[in-house]
Amino acid sequence: RVLDGSAPTLVAVADDADADALASRAEVVRLARRPYGIDLAGLLAELHRRQIVGVLLEGGPTLAGSFLKEGLIDRVVGYLAPALLGEGAAALGPAGAATIAETHRLEFEDVTPTGPDLRLTARPVPLKEL
């Protein structure tokens, strides 16, 4: 439903990406390519220029890890269900921590029951506070 025309859609792609098929369905913003995707600071600068001041990241480990690795996350919202499921790759792709010393520390801001689940809201702890 993102590209169905019901709301303006902006699609960010690397400057060398083939995005011709998107041009008729969305506004395409081209950004420099970086090792783990596009120039995220450039993307946020473009959104700020358009007076967009909030971004919800809902993607996989590469997207979340890239934003975290570049220090561009100011809040993490996660949901904890009373169930165990899954196996596989780390949740933070390029920003994953292999040792305790590399751990990304968070400080809880809010814990709210949501039906049978919990919504956890936390902020990254700046390195100088550790």
Rg (CA), the chain: 17
User: Rounded to two decimals, what is the model's pTM?
Assistant: 0.75
Domain boundaries of the chain, sorted by first residue: 1-54, 56-130
- What confidence score (pLDDT) does residue 129 get? 57
Q: How far apart are CA 120 and CA 112, in angstroms?
A: 7
The class of domain 56-130 in CATH terms is: alpha beta
For 53, phi then psi, to 5°, come to -115, 0
According to DSSP H, which parts of the chain are helical?
40-49, 61-69
pLDDT of residue 89: 62
pLDDT at 25 over 60: yes
pLDDT grade, residue 12 (50/70/90)?
A: very high
Going by pLDDT thresholds of 50, 70 and 90, the confidence category of residue 114 is: very high
Residue 95 neighbours by CB distance under 10 Å: 21
pLDDT higher than 60, residue 130: no
Q: Is the pLDDT of residue 38 over 70?
A: yes
Query: Which H helix or E strand runs over 8?
Result: none
pLDDT band at 64 (very low <50, low <70, confident <90, very high): confident
Who wins on pLDDT, 64 or 59? Answer: 64
